[in-house]
Amino acid sequence: MAYFPFMIQLDDKQCLIVGGGAVAAWKAAQMCEFGACVTVVAPEICAELLAIADTERIDETAGIVENIDGNCQKKPERIRVWKREVTEADISGMDVVIMATDDAELNSQYAELCRSKHILVNVVDVKKDCDFYFPAIIKQGEVVVSVSTGGNSPMLASKIKKDIRQTLRTDYGQIADELGAIREKILAEEPDERARKRRFAAIVEAKMQEQRIRIGTRGSRLAQIQTDMVIEQLKKHYPDVRFEKVIVTTKGDKQKEAAISSFGGKAVFVEEIEEALLDGTIDLAVHSAKDMPNPCKKGLGIAGVLPRACVQDVLIYRADTDIRSKNTFTVGTGSLRRRSQIKEIYPQAECMELRGNVTTRIQKLRDGLYDAIILAAAGIERLGIEKEPDLVYEYLDVDAMLPAAGQGIIAMEACEGTLPYHMAETISDAETEGCLRAERAVVREMEAGCHEPIGVYATWKDDKTMQVRVMNARSGKVKREVWEREKEDANDLE
């Protein structure tokens, strides 16, 4: 007989997971996401489980791994890990127990013990010993869709979930939050049940018919912050429009370790997003301008930009490392532009390939894989991690480390001539847009690929004159030049 799909409030419920492997880690993450207080007991703890808890230490005497709340990603708020064998005393006071060990006899023994104490139990991969199952879940805020096959085929449940996800709008969670507030008000105001139902039906229909703009972006925290910045500005001008974020996974997100130049250059962070624009999956896209192909795909264009942030690159190293006293020191960067210029600033620098999002790169520095790394100031400042006490941040002068074309600029891309394109135009910063146009024009004139050692930086000297600085290290030597254009000529750059 099929199991009834209760929706249970897990907040403050006590959950015991016996087992320290990858399956236990996955179940712990799910339970914590829904507010449960999770205790894990196992003699060995896998790396995935430690990563979930964002731990810094294991106190083997007390047996507790304490959760540290990270600044860069949301971590489970309450999780304890006991590094030892499970005992019968561990299930005391538990609301839910999950047996995820490789010992079938132990799993069965504790399943019977839990039932004798009327504690709900789940035994991984043993259907007969399960009082409940973990469904495949789609979660948008408080909107939760779950799929179960009664333990017969988790893989089928996952496939059904994917099929359902493709048909769901991605703003149901936001709509539910808004309707929840409205519902409470109507319940207080309207005593007649039929009248309430009519009002509820009309409001739900109106919400579903509201104009929405789907904004495509990558899934990294920095990409999310930048997209939120765009949405904030759009809402000021279009308060009645619903702006919905759509996460698009790009080739660059999937290939986390290989050098970008080895599989397509910077376009690998944009290609899938541009395809989503062209096939109508999304209406507007938000990019870091320096990552965009030049030119955009046919039919697409940069519709607008936000005001430019700091354009500098930052050399970051641990506070306990005196890089200047070293005969050589390693610098993590995948950029040929940065490699060419850092060697002029620090001849003793030895550059090594570096991939990953900003927080991953900083963690690699902390782990000692590099003596220093180079990151864009705009990214670390938007993430709010430019003042970590254990790190030194050396902002490099633009005359010595010329930025990439578009560095520090958030760009909005859309199909030309569409409503989203015009909406982005409305909030665009004219000065920044002019500089970006000039920088991209220079790169095209040089017929430069997106992973070549080229730096371009345009600024307005005054109301009439634009100055453009260029760095070219294609020959192996850094060459710099500066030229100026009048405003009328600069505005003609495309």
Token pair 């996974």: residue:
249
Q: What is the CA radius of gyration of the chain?
A: 27
DSSP 403: P
The DSSP annotation for 1-54 comes to -PPP------TT-EEEEE--SHHHHHHHHHHHHTT-EEEEEESS--HHHHHHHT
Burial of 58 from C-beta contacts in 10 A (0-12 / 13-18 / 19+): middle
Query: Cβ neighbours of residue 345 under 8 Å, at least 6 residues apart?
Result: 396, 400, 401
Q: Is residue 54 among the annotated active site residues?
A: no
Of the listed 129, 291, 313, 371, which one is catalytic?
291
16/488 Cα distance (integer angstroms): 69
Handedness of CA 193, 199, 205, 211 (dihedral sign): negative
Query: Cβ neighbours of residue 437 under 8 Å, at least 6 residues apart?
Result: 490, 493, 494
CA-nearest of 378, 411, 380 to 312 is: 378
Structure tokens that stand for 236 in this block = 């000021």
CA-nearest of 416, 441, 403, 409 to 294 is: 441
CA-nearest of 466, 464, 445 to 454 is: 445
CA-nearest of 38, 13, 24 to 125 is: 24
Active site residues per annotation: 291
